Amino acid sequence: MSGVDISDLKKEKLSDGQFPAKPKSDFRFHITEAVHKDIQNHAKADKSVEICGVLVGKWEKDENGPFALVTENIRCDSATSKFAEVTFTHESWSHINAEMDSKYSDLRIIGWYHSHPDFGIFLSDRDVFIHENFFSGAGQVAYVVDPVRDLEGVFTWKDGKPEPIAHYWIGDRIRTVDAVTRSTAPPQMSPVAAPGAANSQPALEEPSFLPFLTTCLAWMSLFLLGYLVGGLRPYPDQTLIEQGAVARFGYTKLMKLGLKDELTAVQQHTRDIYQEFEKLPTPSAELSEEELAEAQERRKLIVAKLALHAQAVELIKNKYSLTSAEKLAVQRLIEENEAELQGTALAKKSSSEETKTAPA
């Protein structure tokens, strides 16, 4: 994704229209009261998970430039939602396409919406990925709501990146955007929800080590348990337990260190395929209308599947890979515990040898 900007919308052929309110910016975004209310109700129905859907309407222009009118929305209840993340699935897009074909064939998908319950208004890395791969049109927006704090904001394309706009219209009301560049979730939020917030802008906010520290303490408890159990056994068995604990810890935890690099390579390969596919010529005009329509549908399906595949890789990478801070912490933890356990083993071995050589 490079160079996509909202100003590119001016180059498209848009029908003439009248914006419902006085313009205050180069690009204007308007959402009806009914759609706004339905999205709010959707977000507040279950504040324990994120929800999502698409914004439906049309783009028009007047003497002041292009604007977007959102008159409908489609809920994606089949999307995968859990805690601090939401994912569009193949079933979601099948539902969206069916709704567009049956109800809104004369309208366009203006963008998407999703909730950040008690996280504030921002786009996480995962959100940006979804926006880049599914809503990359110059006029497509990302609408984010926080049903807990009663905040909301709209993001449009600016120099290839989604940026918050200063304000937009809800009916005849002007709403100032409550968007920021990172999560504003309070530090005392649950460890389960923390990763979603940390993915937003890691360079701009201090990482939260509380969840990871808790995990480290749990690992330390396992070490202690192994040590105590080992203390009840003869020396050879105890050494095996200690060495096995260190080896198992290193294998089960440090094996993650290479996962991110491997997934990044797979992800890049997927993007390369996607880019090459986009270079394919459109179906020949010599095809019949039925064949042409079928070819176009197949092309859309392949593009959607490739995008879903890339999204799945991104989600796996974010979920299972260790951050740089976690890598350092785990490495330090292993080194310290391995040294401590080896020191204990050597001390006990030395003590045992002294006992054997001592005169009776």
For residue range 105-156, what is the model confidence (pLDDT) as tens digits? Answer: 999 999 999 998 888 888 988 889 889 989 999 999 999 999 998 899 999 9
Asked if the model's pLDDT at residue 341 lies above 70, the reply is no
Residue 319 confidence (pLDDT): 63
- Over its C-alpha atoms, the chain yields an Rg (Å, rounded) of 27
Name, in order, each residue with C-beta under 8 angstroms of 3's C-beta and a sequence gap of 6 or more. 159, 160
Given a contact cutoff of 8 angstroms between Cβ atoms, the answer to whether 167 and 27 are in contact is no
**Roughly how many angstroms between the first and final C-alpha of the chain, as a whole number?**
80
Residue 237 confidence (pLDDT): 43
Average pLDDT over residues 219-240: 45
Residue 110 confidence (pLDDT): 97
More confident site: 304 or 231: 304
Given a contact cutoff of 8 angstroms between Cβ atoms, the answer to whether 162 and 155 are in contact is yes
Q: How far apart are CA 163 and CA 180, in angstroms?
A: 9
Residue 186 confidence (pLDDT): 46
Structure tokens given for 137: 């049109």
Global pTM value:
0.49
What average pLDDT does the structure give for the chain?
A: 72
Residue 338 confidence (pLDDT): 67
Sign, Cα dihedral of 158, 205, 85, 133: positive
Tell me the per-residue pLDDT of 276-313, one tens digit each, with 9 for 90 and over: 666 665 656 676 777 777 777 777 777 776 776 676 67
Structure tokens given for 109: 């998908």
Asked if the model's pLDDT at residue 36 lies above 70, the reply is yes
Given a contact cutoff of 8 angstroms between Cβ atoms, the answer to whether 166 and 175 are in contact is no
Residue 351 confidence (pLDDT): 65
Q: How far apart are CA 116 and CA 127, in angstroms?
A: 11
Residue 104 confidence (pLDDT): 96
pLDDT confidence of 38, banded at 50, 70, 90?
Answer: very high
More confident site: 193 or 36: 36
Q: How far apart are CA 109 and CA 183, in angstroms?
A: 27
Sign, Cα dihedral of 78, 108, 98, 40: positive
**Residue 358 CB neighbour total at 10 angstroms:** 7
Q: φ and ψ at 65, to 5 degrees? A: 115, -170
Average pLDDT over residues 169-198: 56
Structure tokens given for 96: 């969206």
Sign, Cα dihedral of 270, 271, 272, 275: positive
**Rounded to the nearest 5 degrees, what angle is found at the Cα of 204, between the Cα atoms of 202 and 208?**
55
Given a contact cutoff of 8 angstroms between Cβ atoms, the answer to whether 113 and 73 are in contact is yes
DSSP-H helix ranges across the chain: 33-45, 90-102, 125-134, 194-198, 210-230, 235-254, 259-278, 289-320, 324-357
Average pLDDT over residues 80-94: 70
Q: How far apart are CA 154 and CA 145, in angstroms?
A: 9
Asked if the model's pLDDT at residue 187 lies above 50, the reply is no
Residue 188 confidence (pLDDT): 38
Residue 198 confidence (pLDDT): 34
Structure tokens given for 188: 């005392």
Asked if the model's pLDDT at residue 31 lies above 70, the reply is yes
What is the percent of the chain with per-residue pLDDT over 70, rounded to a whole number? 54
